[in-house]
Amino acid sequence: MHPIETIDWLYRSNPPSLALITQMGDSEAVLYGSHDSRESNAMVELLNELGVTFDFRAIDRDPRAMREWEQLDGDQVPMLRIGNNQIVRGFDRIKLQQLFGWVGC
């Protein structure tokens, strides 16, 4: 038997785009957080490090952002909503890295 060779030419010639990942449909990535939260600040830094484009909405200073967060059953910050399909509650470095393809599953 011969070992199966992995063909990754498709990804070398067409690398996946983070813009494609973070924009499911017409929706973008939205991070609900608080300016006083260390975890919110850490999430901002990690998303920037990963090259993810997102909109930060401060629930402690913006009543509209607070209502949106509450409608999504927000119980903690930070909370990241990606499109209408994916929500990450709390600062979970491994989950975010997996979601954006930086570490194995």
In this prediction the pTM is 0.70
Structural domain boundaries of the chain?
Answer: 16-99
35-83: pLDDT as tens digits: 999 999 999 999 999 889 999 999 999 999 999 999 998 889 999 999 8
CATH code of the domain made up of 16-99: 3.40.30.10
**Using the 8-state DSSP alphabet, how is residue 34 labeled?**
-
pLDDT-derived band of residue 103, with 50, 70 and 90 as boundaries? low
87-96: pLDDT as tens digits: 999 999 999 9
Here the tokens at position 30 are: 């939205």
In whole angstroms, give the CA distance from residue 84 to residue 87: 8
pLDDT of res. 40 = 96
pLDDT of res. 20 = 38
